[in-house]
Amino acid sequence: MSTTKQQVLDKAINDIQVDIMNAWKSVMKYEQQLSDMNMDEEDKKILRLLIENEKSKVETLTAILDKLEPPKSDANEILAAKNVLRKAGYHVDSLWHVEDVTEIYVCDSNQAYEVLTQVLDRNVDTVFDAIQDETRVNEIPSKS
């Protein structure tokens, strides 16, 4: 099985998150050692340098992570986008998100999107049939 770009990206993000966590663990360990009263000043100086180094690593990795992770849309942006589409005549009250798939199944966002595409494409005929049924019930005449 070939690895997709998204899988590589997801692994890189995960690895960076683990590296950040490990760097913070090192900082805590060094700070705990620094509190040892029996340590001479030269050893304390070395520990302070190690702490600085780990904190610098966290800053660098966090900056990289910010570039790699997709931006998160906030609820206001999504609502505004829905309103634009609604004004243009689109029905947007029932939308599906890739997380509806990824929260239940082991797959990346691209695979989840493809699953949703296949499922929704299969249901187009059902939707048109339901529209026809609903217009009959509500006695809305057809143009043809």
Please tell me the predicted confidence (pLDDT) of residue 21: 93
Please tell me the predicted confidence (pLDDT) of residue 59: 92
Please say if the pLDDT value at position 1 is more than 60: no
Q: Please answer whether residues 70 and 77 qualify as being in contact, where contact means their C-beta atoms are separated by less than 8 angstroms.
A: no
d(CA 126, CA 119): 12
Mean pLDDT along residues 105-109: 87
DSSP, residue by residue, 22-44: HHHHHHHHHHHHHT-TT--HHHH
Please say if the pLDDT value at position 140 is more than 70: yes
Mean pLDDT along residues 95-100: 88
Segment (H or E) for 67: helix 41-68
Please tell me the predicted confidence (pLDDT) of residue 2: 66
Please say if the pLDDT value at position 121 is more than 90: no
Mean pLDDT along residues 87-97: 89
Residues with Cβ within 8 Å of 85's Cβ and at least 6 positions away in sequence, in order, are 92
d(CA 31, CA 50): 10
- pLDDT, one tens digit per residue, over 46-87 is 999 999 999 999 999 989 988 887 777 788 888 899 999 999
- Classify the C-alpha dihedral 18-22-28-31 as positive or negative: negative
Mean pLDDT along residues 15-24: 92
Q: What pTM, to 2 d.p., does this model score?
A: 0.49
Please tell me the predicted confidence (pLDDT) of residue 130: 87
Please tell me the predicted confidence (pLDDT) of residue 22: 92
d(CA 6, CA 21): 22
